[in-house]
Amino acid sequence: MKAASKTAATTPESPKFEAALASLEEIVAEMENGELPLDRLIERYEEGIRLVKLCDEKLAEAEQKIEVLTSGKAPAKPSAAPAPEEGGPSLF
């Protein structure tokens, strides 16, 4: 089972939140064990940081979706060009 969660966290596509969280929990347990050599400890720490960022992104996406659903409004889409009143070129 240990290998399955590692595989899920290292695939080219982004893992699901639950898989990333499970991998992160596994890494924490390994690090708390105190038996990893320093080079492996650093590798696992780097992987943990990557997973924390991924989980944070997934949670932010979920929070945004919930905000949209509860407000009943569509999310604002950023504009590629500034509006004329913001100093962009005017068409007229």
Q: What CATH number is associated with residue 44?
A: 1.10.287.1040
- pTM > 0.75: no
What does the DSSP assignment read for 51-65?
HHHHHHHHHHHHHHH
- SS3 state of residue 82: coil
Side chain identity, residue 62: A
For residue 24, being part of any structural domain is answered with: yes
Q: Provide the residue range defining the domain that includes 17.
A: 2-71
Domain count, the chain: 1
For residue 79, being part of any structural domain is answered with: no
Whole-angstrom Cα distance, residue 47 to residue 16? 15
pLDDT tens sequence across 11-27:
456 679 999 999 999 99
Average pLDDT of span 38-51: 96
For residue 84, being part of any structural domain is answered with: no
* Alpha-carbon separation of residue 20 from 24, 28, 68, 83 (angstroms): 6, 12, 25, 40
Provide the mean pLDDT of the chain. Answer: 78
Number of residues in the chain: 92
For residue 17, being part of any structural domain is answered with: yes
